[in-house]
């Protein structure tokens, strides 16, 4: 099993802020999460949690 990657708090805050800022441009929150996650290089599930 791969050990979890820890992201710094600043990166987490930025990712959440990006999702919230761009949520209106997408049909659902999940599609916003998927879009932002692909740009940041993490999985959508990681960002969702």
CATH number at residue 26: 1.10.10.10
* pLDDT level of residue 33 (50, 70, 90 thresholds): very high
Q: In 3-state terms, the chain is what percent helix, strand and coil (to 5)?
A: 70, 0, 30
CB 22 within 8 A of CB 30: no
Other CB atoms within 10 Å distance of the CB of residue 46:
14
Is the pLDDT score of 2 beyond 80? no
Residue 1 lies in a domain: no
Domain that holds residue 36: 9-48
Is the pLDDT score of 45 beyond 80? yes
Domain count, the chain: 1
Measured CA to CA, the distance from residue 15 to residue 13 in angstroms comes to 5
38 vs 7: which has the higher pLDDT: 38
């Amino acid at each position: 099993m791969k050990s979890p990657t820890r992201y710094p708090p600043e990166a987490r805050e930025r990712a959440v802020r990006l999702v919230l800022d761009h949520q209106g441009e997408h049909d659902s929150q999940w599609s916003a999460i998927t879009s932002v996650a692909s740009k940041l290089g993490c999985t959508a599930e990681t960002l969702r949690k």
